[in-house]
Structure formats: structure tokens, C-alpha cells
Amino acid sequence: MGTDGRERIAADGSGSTEETSSEERARERIVQLRSIIIRHNELYYNADQPEISDADYDVLANELRRLEAEFPEFITPDSPTQVIGGVGSAQFSAVTHLQPMMSLDNVFDAEELERWWKRNERLLGAEAAGGVRFVCELKIDGLAMSLLYRGGRFERAATRGDGRIGEDVTENVRTIASIPKQMVHSNSDSSRADTPGMLEVRGEVFMPREAFEALNSRRREAGEPIFANPRNSAAGSLRQKDPLITASRELSFLSYQLGATPGGPEFSSHADTLSFLADAGFPVSPEIRVVDSLSEVITFCTHWQHHRNDLPYDIDGAVIKVDSLRLREELGNTAKAPRWAIAMKFPPEERTTLLKAIEVSIGRTGKATPFAVLEPVFVGGSTVSMATLHNEDQVAVKDVREGDTVIVRKAGDVIPEVVGPVLALRPEGLAPWTFPDNCPVCQKPLIRPVGESVHRCTNGDCPAQSLARIAHFGSRGALDIEGLGERTVQTFLDVGLIETVADVYELKNRIDRIGQIEGFGGVSIQNLLAAIEASKTRPLGNLLFGLNIRHVGATIGQTLAKAFGSMDRLANASADEIAATEGVGGVIAASVAEWFAVPENRDTIDRLRAYGLNFEGPAAPSAPQTLTGMAIVVTGSLAGFSRDGAEEAITSRGGKSPRSVSKKTTAVVVGNDPGAAKVTKAEELGIPILDEAAFEALLETGQLPT
Ligand code: IVH
């Protein structure tokens, strides 16, 4: 210290004040970061009440590391970057680990991983580093645990604590079923047949996701505060004074490392220690892979980054370890972490951020959906600034309020969600959120019918609904009109070019007016008009989906098109006739019939017909309607029909083809390798059982064999 440029400039008084103040600012920030981090360590390790997500914690820790690297003169021995782990607590007695439990350094992408290994290669020398093998493991998001075995018997369990001294949680850990209380002697390898004198087995205690969900729903029902994530609930469950409570919490354990083994077996590779652990009865993750190149390590990491949600428990990354214990010894450790292992952290799936406001959006059928407006936050691989809150009850259950700090979660491709507020950070006086009385767009009242969870804007002319309806009409899956996105629709609505979906087909007569809108050139207008023209030939199912009929999604649209074969046949059908369609329930049928009964909608249909849209279904029934009113179940494989083909043969003749046998079933067609339950049920109910020949005769004549 004291000899670098910044110091001299400040000391002789000739340096710029800017330079001095940036140094001063760094020092202040370092002091501030340390106290924030120490406080969060305390909340995390001792109180089990973390106020920020792990990822936010990493952001703070990284900022501190960066500043200390830039201004090493400010590093103090008590900085969290210089001490291992968190702090101890008074509830459990202290235990000194035989071998300290180190933490891991983190990398966040393949480049950093490569740099980690380059550094190690330099330390080892190219020859020693060549042909190295890596063990790739999952980084389980739970609590590190050290289990001590003496003479093969489980003796003690301790948390990591500060790495040197942990807490004795033996009685609680004893309740975890997957932890062996007595090691198994392996006979497969005589060198390992003897159970060692003492053995420290390290691994992770965690709560599988299913157990976590079940625990939280029990707690919700009992009016108890819920845990934010499986890691917190595993920590909370381990910290119980009463082991019976821990026992009820369905904790699991996976071992991944040996600590000290005085008097125990010797190994030359990590992979060998893992097989030893597995042979001795310890659970070891089946996903662990031994590979011999860094590119395979990256493949492992990429795979699990994308498949993390296929696992029954949470992971927050992968851990890469050098396999050879001799090379490990050569590489050694830094003050905090081994050089021979590294954690590849995956993008966080949970972050905390500010809930700036709760607003309401109006959908195409008038549904009013509250959503969170968030301070943008990078989570689950993308920046999230909004998240749905679904409905009034969901907001109340989560008790999120404008001004709260909230936990935001985005797992894989799943849409982002607000998990809940961080109550400890709630500013005083925040009022609970209440659903607005009026539509934020047209100001007409929002109605929540009794017994429903959804509010609706009942004003059919609400501009927000018009926008959503027309944008949906042009969307993929519906009429698929490229260029007619939400923003364009909004512009056309604003200038009064269109009001309804049918108006879209008038746009070709309004080219001059479109041309006056900024941003619309000749080419984009021609492309849009061509896309609108092309939309006229879309299948009837797409059109039905595009019409914004409540409860008619893409699948129901296709089902109705297929069943009725034309727009007119559907438009003139009664609710009962529609409900007779396989897969269409009474609520949907009523909604469809009601929609066609509204004069404005009839008018839309007439206009769309006049514009030349396709009103014909994919399979207008051409086969004789021999099976009208019959329900034929097919089970097993038939020689002359695929599964879909048999179904098609039945439905195209006016019959239904349900998947299960009931009192209403007319006949059961039995092919090769049929479902035993279906045949038994048919026999019990006295329903005729047909072979393939009888089925063919039935299709043709509509007669059951006598
Ligand atoms: S090895 C010296 N392997 O990650 C090696 N740790 O950030 C120390 N963890 O405290 C640990 N899965 O709680 C190792 N397969 C794995 C792991 C793992 C999860 C946790 C463990 C450790 C933390 C370090």
C-alpha cells in the first residue's frame, strides 16, 4: 500500500480532486457493502429469514470483490471476502470440523470457466494438465452438511458454519431417511472392505420441490407464513429444536465429497471416492459425469442449465472438480476455496426487485387482469419488467402491495411470476391493493360476478377490448396476418381507420389514409394488404379461434370446424347440438351459441362472408351418418386403422369416440393388445364387444351384430 499512483497523487496534493474523491467513494462503498453483506449473512445463516435472493447477494458480493480488487489498500482481514462462510448461532452447540469445509469460487459463463482452467494449467504445467479428467456434478441448492462416521456408525452432523466451526444438528439430521445410520461394508473391492476409523462425508441436505410445495400448502391452510423457496424451508426445517418437526419435513441428502478420513481408506480419484460412498450406502446423484475435456464440461453445464426444471430438486449451477487427487494436491487452495473445483452458476431464477405499481390490463373478452409493474430485473435469462398477478384473489393471497420489494421468479421458458413480498423490507404504511372500480381505459365499471374470480369490463366498445380483439384476430394460430401486430392495430384505431375485426378487410380501400401515417411506406402497406388477402384462405378453425368467442381456444376452434364442417352449420346450431360434439362441454357450447345470437356478431359473419373468407371446414361430412348418437370406444390396435384413423371413421359418420367406457358407451371395439380395464368394464356393463370385422360392418350399416 502507499506506493501506487493513486496514493502518491493524493499525498502530494497535486492529483485531481476527482481522482481522490473516486477513491473516497470506493472506500465508502466498500464499507457500506461489507455491512450490508454481513447483515445478509446473519439473516441467511442464523435467522433463516433472507431478505434478498441468492442472486442479489451475489451481485453485492461481486461488487465488493471488484472494488477490493481495484482498491486492494482497503481490504481488511474481517471483510466477508476474506473470511469463510457465515457466522455461528447460539441455539446449537459448536462443532469443529476435522477438515475445514471450504466454499467454492464461482464462474458465470464458459469463458470464465476456460479462464479458470487456463490459470490451473499454468500452475500445473502443460504436461501435468494434459489428459486431465473432470467430474461434473450438479450444484444442489440446499445446505452443506458434514456427517461424521466412526467405525461405520453415524455419530454427528454439523452445518458448515464459518467453514472451521459449524453447528451440531445431529438429532435433526438423524431423522433424514436417506442418510445411512450404519455404513454398508462393500465386498466388491477388498481394499475398501474395512470401514474406516473416522470419516467425514460431505453433501447437501435439501427439500425436494414436491415436499416443499406440500409443506407450503399445509402452512397456507394453517395460516402460517410460507417459505420462499425449498432452500429456506430446508434450512428452517433443520433448525428446529424438536427433531420430530424436522422428521415431518421430508428432507433428502446427496453426498458429493469426502472430508477427513483418519484411519480410513485412501483414494486416488474423486470418482473412486464417489463409488466408495455409493457402495457404502450413501445417496450419490446419478447425474454425475466423469469427462476428459473442458468442452464436455461445457456440454454438461449447458444441458443442465436448460433441464434444471426436470430435476425433482432445485439446483443453482454445476460444480466441476478435478478428478485426480494428486493434481488436486498440487493445485491446492486459495484462502477461501479450492483451486481444483469451481461452481458454474446458472442465471438466477429468482431475484428481488421493487414493485412500482399494480395495474390492470383489459383482454379481448373484457377480462381485467392485474399485473405487476416492476423495476426491471434480470432473472431466468431475460429482463423482466412486468408479471401477471392473475386476479384479485391472487393479489390478496400473496399480499403484494405497491412499493413492496418482491421476489420475482422466472424458471426456464415459464412466464415470470411474483412469488411474494419481502415483508422485512416493507416500508411502513403501505396500504393493501384494491381492485379498481372502473376500467382503466373506458372508465366504465368493472364487474366481478358472484362466484367468479375474474373482473370484467362489460363495455363491448371499450377501446382496450377492440385493440386486443383485432390483434388476436391477426395473430398466429388465428388469421395469421403478418404486420398487424398490437402497435399497428393501436395506430389504426387511434386514427379511426378500423373499429372491428371485419374493418381489417376494408383497409385496401383506405390506402391513401394509411400512407399519411408516419412510418407506413408503400412497401409495408403492400405487404400488409397481401397478408390480409392471404388470411382469407385460412382454415375455418383458425377463423373461429380468431373471432374472440369466449372459451373458444385454438383446439376448440378446430374441433368445431371439423364437427360442423361450415360456419353456417355452426352458426345455426343450438347449444345442445354444439354440446354433442366430442370434447366440447356445456359451458363452451352455450358461449358459442350465445355469441352467434348477438346481432353485431351475425353482422360480422355476414361481412366476413362478403369479403370472401373461407367458411368451409376441413372435413364437411361426406360419409353417410350411420353412427349418429352412438359412442364407440376403440381399444388396442386394429389392422386396417390407425388410432386416429379409427376415431376419424367414427366421428365422420356422426358418432363419438370417447377414450373411456361408461354406461353411455354403445360398443367397444377390441383390437390387438387391448386395455384390460376397458374390456372388463364393458363386460361388467353388458356393452357389446366388437372385433375389427364387426366394427367395419357397423361403420357401413350402423347396425350392431345380433
Ligand atoms: S463441493 C471444496 N459439490 O455449494 C468443495 N458443493 O458454493 C466444497 N454444493 O458449500 C463443496 N452441490 O453447499 C460441492 N456437488 C457439489 C455441491 C456443492 C452444492 C454447495 C455446498 C457448498 C456450496 C459452495
List, for residues 234-282, the tens digit of each pLDDT value. Answer: 988 988 878 888 999 999 999 999 999 988 788 999 999 999 999 999 9
Longest dimension (CA), the chain: 113
Ligand 1 closest atom vs CA 285: 15
Averaged confidence pLDDT in the chain: 88
What percent of the chain has pLDDT above 70? 92
d(CA 17, CA 370): 50
pLDDT digits (tens, 9 = 90+) for 441-468: 999 999 999 999 999 999 988 999 999 9
Q: Which atom of ligand 1 is nearest to the CA of 102?
A: 2
CA nearest ligand 1 atom 18, residue: 139
562 catalytic? Reply is no
Cell of 554: 385454438
For ligand 1, mutation pick of 138, 145, 319, 333 (most atoms within 8 Å of CB): 319
Q: Are 350 and 408 in contact (CB under 8 A)?
A: yes
Q: State the distance from the centre of ligand 1 to the C-alpha of 205, rounded, in angstroms.
A: 11
- The 8-class DSSP code of residue 518 comes to T
Count the neighbouring beta carbons within 10 Å of the beta carbon of residue 125: 10
Query: How far apart are the C-alpha atoms of 410 and 696, rounded to whole Å?
Result: 52
Mutation probe of ligand 1 site: the residue of 204, 253, 254, 258 with most atoms within 8 A of C-beta: 204
Cβ-based neighbour number of residue 521 at 10 Å: 9
Alpha-carbon distances, residue 294 vs 297, 300, 418 (angstroms): 5, 10, 37
Separation of CA 127 and ligand 1 centre (Å) = 29
- The CA distance from 428 to 289, in Å, is 51
What's the whole-number mean pLDDT along residues 204-208?
A: 97
For ligand 1, the distance from its centroid to the CA atom of residue 105, given in whole angstroms, is 10
Q: How many CA atoms lie within 13 A of 25 on its CB side?
A: 6
- 10 class by beta-carbon count within 10 Å (0-12 exposed, 13-18 middle, 19+ buried): middle
Q: What is the C-alpha separation between 607 and 604, in angstroms, rounded?
A: 5
Instruction: Give the mean pLDDT of 310-323.
Output: 95
- 141 CA closest ligand 1 atom index: 19
Q: How confident is the model at residue 639 (pLDDT cuts 50, 70, 90)?
A: confident
Residue linked to cell 446427496: 254
C-alpha cell of 382? Answer: 431475460
Q: How confident is the model at residue 628 (pLDDT cuts 50, 70, 90)?
A: confident
Distances (CA, A) of 17 to 25, 67, 77: 12, 19, 29
What span, in angstroms and rounded, lies between the C-alpha atoms of 268 and 327?
10
CA of 201 to the centre of ligand 1 (A): 12
- Calculate ∠ Cα 474-480-481, nearest 5°: 60
What pLDDT does residue 54 have? 67
Asked if residues 314 and 210 have their Cβ atoms less than 8 Å apart, the reply is no
CA of 91 relative to ligand 1 center, distance in Å: 24
- Share in percent of the chain as helix, strand, coil (round to 5): 40, 20, 40
Residue 116 region by backbone torsions, left for phi larger than 0, else alpha for psi between -120 and 50, else beta: alpha
For the whole prediction, is pTM greater than 0.75? no
Q: How far is CA 607 from the centre of its chain?
A: 43
The ligand 1 site (C-beta within 6 Å) comprises 102-104, 137, 139-140, 144, 160, 204, 256-257, 319, 338, 341, 343
Q: For position 60, what pLDDT does the model report?
A: 84
Spatial separation of the C-alpha atoms in residues 166 and 96, rounded to whole Å: 6
**Model pLDDT for residues 77-128, shown as the tens digit of each residue:** 777 776 544 433 446 888 999 999 999 999 999 999 999 999 999 999 877 7
Pocket test for ligand 1, best of 54, 141, 256 (most atoms within 8 A of CB): 256
pLDDT on residue 45: 66
Say how many Å lie between the CA of residue 338 and the centre of ligand 1.
Answer: 11
Using only the alpha carbons of the chain, give its radius of gyration. 33
**Residue owning the nearest CA to atom 12 of ligand 1:** 139
Q: What are phi and psi of 265, to 5 degrees?
A: -70, 160
* Confidence bin at 194 (pLDDT 50/70/90): low
Q: Are 494 and 596 in contact (CB under 8 A)?
A: no
Indicate which residue of 118, 139, 241, 536 is catalytic: 139
Atom 2 of ligand 1: nearest residue by CA position? 102
